[in-house]
Amino acid sequence: MSRISENNLTGIARTRRTLTRPQRTTIVYGILSLVLTLVILQLWLITATMNAFLGGDSAVIWPAAGASAVCLFLNLGLLRYLYVIERPSSGK
Amino acid sequence: MSHHHPTMSPDKRPDDQQPQWRQDFPIDVAQDDYVARRDFTKFLVLISGGFVTGQFWIGLQNWMRSHRGKPPVYRIANLSELPVEGSITFKYPGPHDDCILVRPTEQSLVAYSQKCTHLACPVIPDQSGKCFHCPAHHGVFEMGTGRVISGPPRRPLPKITLEVRGSDIYATGVEVSTV
């Protein structure tokens, strides 16, 4: 593992140790808002894509699928952070 | 007896001022909120994955549609069977695809998929208004073009291309569009 990623992990672990429950709740609310926004964007994408597909327009299908996949990866990144702040600290 | 538990009551009063049932079964409201929001976030990410699956399913359906080839040529009826302002229903291109052929004037013929583009209810020709009417949710389509005049549908009716050979009417293809 490189020095930079070790430093990052130490930083996350340090942050986790110092977070109080109200702070963690605020972070969860922040993540929830971002995830909700991305999911609404995905809902709009699938509605528009289905309409285009049923209307015989296939040009938008793969770009929309790509954009939706990007949203999913962003959501998975946010979810990973959610697990990171919950993981019990070994330094305790 | 004094005991300590890390909970917070909704009214923020100390434990000894709480009713007995709350002292016996303390609920940590802040923790409860935290867990609920966290689990809802996880659920939303699952939904997000579902949307991506749906997008790729549409892509797969589109690929299958593009490899299906041209629809067959199908004889619908003879011109003598269809009076002016009359209509005939038929199945095209598949055995479950309901379509309707209309003769608005002596010299014109139009055919469309009979499924309303809103929720697939069958549309009915209205010769007086020169339109197709969906009785389920009052969608109205122009008879000449299949375009939406009013109601909840967002796309025109898929048009069946026709060819008259001798005195027989044939369906030769399906044209779909978004506007």
The mean pLDDT of chain B is 91
Task: Kindly report the number of other CB atoms within 10 A of residue B21's CB atom.
Answer: 8
The DSSP code for B16 is: G
pLDDT beyond 70 at A88: no
Q: Residue B68's pLDDT is what?
A: 87
Cβ pair B58, A61 in contact under 8 A:
yes
Provide mean pLDDT across the span B174-179. 90
Contact across the interface for A29 and B37, Cβ inside 8 Å: yes
A64: nearest Cα among A81, A77, A48: A48
Choose the weakest-confidence range: A1-15, A78-92, B77-91, B111-125.
Answer: A1-15
CB contact under 8 A, B37 and A45: no
Per-residue model confidence as pLDDT tens digits over B74-89: 999 999 999 999 999 9
Interface predicted TM-score of the whole assembly (ipTM), two decimals: 0.81
Q: How far apart are CA B15 and CA B135, in angstroms?
A: 63
The encoded tokens of residue B19 equal 């009713």
CB–CB contact B48 A42 (8 Å): yes
Over residues A6-58, the pLDDT tens digits come to 556 566 666 666 788 888 889 999 999 999 999 999 999 999 999 999 999 99
- Length of chain B equals 179
> What's the CA gap between B173 and B72, in Å, rounded?
7
pLDDT band at B5 (very low <50, low <70, confident <90, very high): very low
More confident residue, A57 or B14: A57
Mean pLDDT of B94-107: 93
What's the Rg (C-alpha) of chain B?
A: 30
Assigned token pair, B101: 């052929």
Residue spans of beta strands (DSSP E) within B57-176: 74-78, 87-91, 98-105, 108-113, 124-126, 131-134, 139-142, 148-150, 159-165, 168-175
Note whether B58 contacts A61, CB cutoff 8 Å.
yes
Q: Which of A25, A50, A62 sits opposite B34 (nearest CB)?
A: A25
Quick: pLDDT tens for B138-149. Answer: 999 999 999 999
pLDDT of residue A20: 83
By mean pLDDT, which of A16-20, A59-63, A71-75, B123-127 is the weakest?
A16-20
The whole-angstrom separation of Cα B158 and Cα B146 is: 7
Q: How far apart are CA A41 and CA A70, in angstroms?
A: 11
Mean pLDDT of B11-18: 84
pLDDT at B15: 81
Q: Could you give the CA distance from residue A35 to residue A45 in angstroms, rounded to a whole number?
A: 15
Q: What pLDDT is recorded for position A15?
A: 61
In this predicted structure, which of B6-20, B28-42, B64-78, B122-136 has the lowest mean pLDDT? Answer: B6-20
Return the HEC string of chain A.
Answer: CCHHHHHHHHHHHHHHHHCCHHHHHHHHHHHHHHHHHHHHHHHHHHHHHHHHHHCCCCCCHHHHHHHHHHHHHHHHHHHHHHHHHHCCCCCC
In contact, B148 and B140? CB cutoff 8 Å: yes
Contacts of B54 in chain A (CB under 8 A): 46
Confidence of residue B164 (pLDDT cuts 50, 70, 90): very high
| Among the partner residues A31, A49, A56, nearest to B41 by beta-carbon distance | A31
Tell if the pTM clears 0.80, that is, is over it: no
